């Protein structure tokens, strides 16, 4: 009986409802749903503070678009459907940029919501050159 | 007696001119609404930079100085400096900086036999320093950092330029001629409303070849900044910010030694006040400031006092390749 309860506790996070899935540290979206990650960043109070986070976001696989909220120190990232995202990889982006990561929220959103091009949404540039120097130029200019 | 009167008038004029410039700069920025953050323009030690980031700053710094009460009829010095600053975040704690500069100086000097023009141009000393972030406190609403720094001035500047009549005045020289050491401490605080940064540095100038020894320099600088535009931060997009800036520099210079003799017309104390604007975006920033002296207590009867200084800069942020090994389990981004 104890073993059964233990197994149940272990399996619970895997069978939870979609609304609760937003709180788990890692998520893989379905082909019909995209992923939105909201990162709270500590210590960013100016546009320049987001620069170092921005250039690191480009290397996250499947990142479709992103925007920054200076008022609440948030980075909001939308990923393509079918991408696996973990909160540890997102936290690492902030750590590598020199900031202390705050809470990370990962949730599934309808793809139609991701296609809404509102003000403030940015798209990562294409960095696909064979040459490292050209990739550096693509990254910075 | 006539000479004394003229001197008094000149002093009054100078005070009036300084007061007008100070008032103008305060009026330009003072009454505007406050809130946050850019970077100091008159000192580079507290410039913020993140890991694997390169900050490239190009500045133009003209300074107009004069000594209208000089016995021979007045001296006017115009100095134009073009510093280029590169600050690189080696790790999240260590930043490396290089500050090279070129300069052009001209002097119009009144002599009994007529006026004389002197000029000099070339590279200045190159500053290289490393800064270590000792204390780093990030809160959701503010950030505070304290970082000591250690550096050196490389003798790339001319310090002994001369013409047919001998060594040019120190006001036209652009270097110390020796490898100088720099020791300092910086601190900075920022929140969403405003920010400040501060530094205190000591520059030790050992004797240079040729019997010249530029006096040591101790200085402390402060900067206060506040966001003017946008008045309230939007949450839907990242705005471009117009920031009001006030800066101050307190500089003490020891007397120089030339050919074994103490130069009585060197060294002294200056307290400068600056005011201006910065315009900041996600990738670049520019700024313009005007500075006037509040106190100038320079040694010697021929001391050339600063009248007004301007500082324009443009800086661009570049992402640099990470030299650290990637952690495979963390999907670490990098070039």
Q: Which of residues 265-294 of B touch A (CB under 8 A)?
A: 280-283, 285
Backbone angles phi, psi at B146, to 5 degrees: -130, 130
Q: Could you write out the three-class secondary structure of chain A?
A: CHHHHHHHHHHHHHHCCHHHHCCCCEEECCCCEEEEEEEEEECCCCHHHHHHHHHHHCCCCCEEEEEEECCCCEEEEEECCCCEEEHHHHHHHHHHCCCEEEEEEEEEEEHHHHCCCCCCCECCCCCCCCCHHHHHHHHHC
The pLDDT tens digits for A66-101 are 999 888 889 999 999 988 888 998 998 888 777 778
Please judge whether B238 and A40 are an interchain contact, meaning their C-beta atoms are less than 8 angstroms apart.
no
- How close A140 gets to chain B, by Cα (Å)? 6
Residues of A in contact with B322 (CB under 8 A): 96
Question: What average pLDDT score do residues A115-128 get?
Answer: 82
| The predicted structure's pLDDT at residue B72 | 62
Q: Which residue among A46, A58, A72 sits closest to B280, beta carbon to beta carbon?
A: A46
Please judge whether B140 and A73 are an interchain contact, meaning their C-beta atoms are less than 8 angstroms apart.
yes
Please judge whether A47 and B195 are an interchain contact, meaning their C-beta atoms are less than 8 angstroms apart.
no
pLDDT > 60? residue A6: no
Tokens of B239: 């705005």
Please judge whether A46 and B331 are an interchain contact, meaning their C-beta atoms are less than 8 angstroms apart.
no
Question: What average pLDDT score do residues A33-39 get?
Answer: 91
Which residues of chain B fall short of a pLDDT of 70?
Answer: 1-38, 70-73, 323-335
- 3-state DSSP call for residue B259? coil
| The predicted structure's pLDDT at residue A115 | 67
Residues 6 or more apart in contact with residue B115 via CB below 8 angstroms: B73, B108, B109
pTM value is 0.80
Residues 6 or more apart in contact with residue A97 via CB below 8 angstroms: A52, A53, A56, B50, B51
Tokens 């101050």 locate to: B248
Residues of B in contact with A48 (CB under 8 A): 37-39, 48, 280, 282, 285, 317
Buried b vs exposed e over B153-189: b needs ≥16 C-beta within 10 Å? Answer: bbbebbbebeeeeebbbbbbbbbbbbebebebbbbbe
ipTM of the complex: 0.70
Contacts 24+ apart (CB under 8 A), B8-17: B10/B68, B10/B69, B11/B69, B13/B68, B14/B68, B14/B305, B14/B307, B17/B307
Mean pLDDT of chain A: 78
Please judge whether A67 and B318 are an interchain contact, meaning their C-beta atoms are less than 8 angstroms apart.
no
Residues of B in contact with A100 (CB under 8 A): 138
A40 touches chain B (CB under 8 A): yes
The answer to whether A66 and A25 are in contact (CB under 8 A) is: no
Residues of B in contact with A96 (CB under 8 A): 51-52, 322, 332-334
């Amino acid at each position: 009986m104890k073993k059964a309860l233990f197994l149940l506790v272990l399996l619970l996070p895997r069978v939870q409802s979609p609304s609760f899935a937003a709180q788990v540290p890692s998520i893989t979206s379905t082909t019909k749903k995209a992923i939105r990650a909201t990162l709270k960043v500590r210590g960013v109070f100016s546009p320049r503070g987001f620069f170092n986070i921005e250039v690191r976001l480009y290397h996250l696989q499947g990142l479709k678009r992103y925007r920054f909220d200076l008022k609440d120190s948030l980075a909001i990232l939308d990923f393509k459907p079918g991408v696996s995202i973990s909160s540890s990889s997102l936290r690492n982006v902030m750590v590598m940029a020199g900031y202390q990561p705050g809470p990370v929220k990962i949730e599934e959103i309808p793809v139609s919501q991701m296609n809404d091009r509102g003000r403030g949404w940015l798209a990562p540039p294409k960095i696909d050159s064979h040459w490292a120097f050209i990739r550096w130029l693509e990254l910075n200019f | 007696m006539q000479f004394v009167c003229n001197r008094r008038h000149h002093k009054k004029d100078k005070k009036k001119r300084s007061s007008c410039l100070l008032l103008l700069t305060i009026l330009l920025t003072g009454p505007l609404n406050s809130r946050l953050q850019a970077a100091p323009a008159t000192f580079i030690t507290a410039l913020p930079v993140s890991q694997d980031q390169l900050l490239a700053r190009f500045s133009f710094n003209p300074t107009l100085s004069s000594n209208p009460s000089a016995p021979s009829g007045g001296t006017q010095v115009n100095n134009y400096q073009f510093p280029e600053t590169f600050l690189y975040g080696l790790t999240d704690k260590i930043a490396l900086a290089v500050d090279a500069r070129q300069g052009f100086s001209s002097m119009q000097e009144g002599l009994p036999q007529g006026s004389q023009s002197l000029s000099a141009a070339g590279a200045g000393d190159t500053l290289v320093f490393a800064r270590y972030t000792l204390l780093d406190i990030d809160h959701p609403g503010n950030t505070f950092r304290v970082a000591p720094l250690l550096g050196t001035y490389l003798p790339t500047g001319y310090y002994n330029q001369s013409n047919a009549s001998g060594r040019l005045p120190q006001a036209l020289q652009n270097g110390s001629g020796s490898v100088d050491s720099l020791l300092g401490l910086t601190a900075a605080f920022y929140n969403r409303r405003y920010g400040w940064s501060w530094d205190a540095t000591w520059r030790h100038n050992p004797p240079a070849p040729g019997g010249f020894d530029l006096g040591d320099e101790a200085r402390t600088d402060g900067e206060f900044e506040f966001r003017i535009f946008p008045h309230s931060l939007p949450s839907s997009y990242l705005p471009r910010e117009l920031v009001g800036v006030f800066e101050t520099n307190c500089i003490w210079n020891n007397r120089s030694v030339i050919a074994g003799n103490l130069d009585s017309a060197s060294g002294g104390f200056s307290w400068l006040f600056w005011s201006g604007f910065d315009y900041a975006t996600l990738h670049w920033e520019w700024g313009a400031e005007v500075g006037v002296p509040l106190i100038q207590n320079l040694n010697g009867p021929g001391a050339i006092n600063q009248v007004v200084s301007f500082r324009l800069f443009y800086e661009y942020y570049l992402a640099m390749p990470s030299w650290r090994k990637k952690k495979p389990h963390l999907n670490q981004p990098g070039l």
